[in-house]
Amino acid sequence: MFLLIFFFLTFSFEKNLNADEIQFADSHGPITVMGDHLHKKNELMFSLRFSKMNMDGMLSGNNVISANSVMSAPNGASDESGTYMNAPILMKMNMFMFGAMYAPTDNLTLMAMSSFNQKEMISQRMRMRGGSRFNVNSSGVGDTRISALMRFLENKFVKTHFAFGLSLPTGSIDERDTTPSSLNSRLGYRMQNGSGTFDSFFVINNISDFGKVKIGEQFQIKRPISGNNSNGYRYGTSIDTSIWLSYRWKKNFSTSLKINFDYLGNIDGEDDQMNKRMSPVMDSKNIGHQKLNLSFGFNYVNAYDYFKNNRLAFELILPLHQRVRGIQMADDYKIMIGWQNSFEGF
């Protein structure tokens, strides 16, 4: 990824494109917003995104709690009375996302997206067991999303489209690693790569165009449609709503400010290979949240002949408010870097 950016910056100082050949930087939304734009008939676009997310410490509801209190106070572990034997301290997630978009007509764009995940979680054992730390890792392909984006309205000031999509369970829900209790124990819910279910989702996306200033809104709702997965559970409904403001400083450079609300409902069922007493991350009661995030980003479009109209975008996401169900890790920050390139005439 960084090599790619390096080549992109090094070899792009050649000849300027004519002004009318350059794409507007803000014709795409912030890089973490998926399916924010349609393409013209016969246009094909490829994208690569890299994201890094850190989670640090624990929350009970919306209060920060210490690792020791997770393991000493009765926290309602499984049967409302016990304590957890381990507490997660830190979690790191890297995600590489690959996407393709193709427009068979001006009013319809098809989109497919998948990912590769690397996750690491560091936990602390209870004092009775020495209080030492251990880490577990997982990696693999995540779930794959396919969707159809349909134009609803487009004029000089407003662009609105809908999308209907399906998330396919290509990510594993059987990630395992060595823990103090077993050499090969199933890892907690957040360490798994997929949901294990077919999920349907619906998106409404709206852009208001005020010239150099644009305001975008996206509403997305997703829910499982295939019953419980093969390990006996399904995630609740999730809602993701974003509103962003972008400003175009130059034709090929814009910055954005985004507020995003992220909701996940309660889980249905549980993975009975996870021992709830082991850790809050293995207890199905500790799933579900409401989060409010603030993001800063930029979009850049290469305006030189080499790598013509290749896009580079970045976004930093910081939590403003988090309320979790039960005891869960707290989001610390997330960054995303993305590259996009479109081709005409297919």
| Interacting residues with Cu ion (CB under 5 A) | 45, 101
User: What's the CA gap between 260 and 96, in Å, rounded?
Assistant: 21
- E-strand stretches of the chain: 44-60, 63-65, 86-105, 108-125, 133-141, 144-154, 158-168, 176-179, 182-186, 199-210, 213-224, 233-234, 238-250, 253-264, 268-269, 289-301, 311-324, 327-343
Nearer to Cu ion, 45 or 191 (CB): 45
Nearer to Cu ion, 29 or 171 (CB): 29
Nearer to Cu ion, 112 or 204 (CB): 112
- Burial of 87-114, coded b for 16+ CB within 10 Å and e otherwise, reads bbbbbbbebbbebebbbeeeebbebebb
In the complex, least distance from residue 135 CB atom to Cu ion, rounded to whole angstroms: 37
Nearer to Cu ion, 103 or 329 (CB): 103
Nearer to Cu ion, 45 or 207 (CB): 45
In the complex, least distance from residue 211 CB atom to Cu ion, rounded to whole angstroms: 22
Q: Are 60 and 77 in contact (CB under 8 A)?
A: no
Nearer to Cu ion, 6 or 346 (CB): 346
Q: Side chain identity at 55, as an amino acid letter?
A: M
Around 74, how many Cα atoms within 13 Å sit in the side-chain half-sphere?
6
Nearer to Cu ion, 76 or 297 (CB): 297
- Burial of 20-40, coded b for 16+ CB within 10 Å and e otherwise, reads eebbbbbbbbbbbbbbbbbbe
Query: Phi/psi class of residue 57: alpha, beta or left (left: φ > 0; alpha: ψ in -120 to 50)?
Result: left
Query: Which residue is nearest to Cu ion, using beta carbons?
Result: 45
User: What's the CA gap between 108 and 39, in Å, rounded?
Assistant: 8
In the complex, least distance from residue 344 CB atom to Cu ion, rounded to whole angstroms: 12
Nearer to Cu ion, 36 or 271 (CB): 36
In the complex, least distance from residue 114 CB atom to Cu ion, rounded to whole angstroms: 16
DSSP 140-180: EE--EEEEEEEEEEE-SSEEEEEEEEEEE--S-S--EEEET
In the complex, least distance from residue 155 CB atom to Cu ion, rounded to whole angstroms: 21
In the complex, least distance from residue 51 CB atom to Cu ion, rounded to whole angstroms: 18
In the complex, least distance from residue 40 CB atom to Cu ion, rounded to whole angstroms: 10
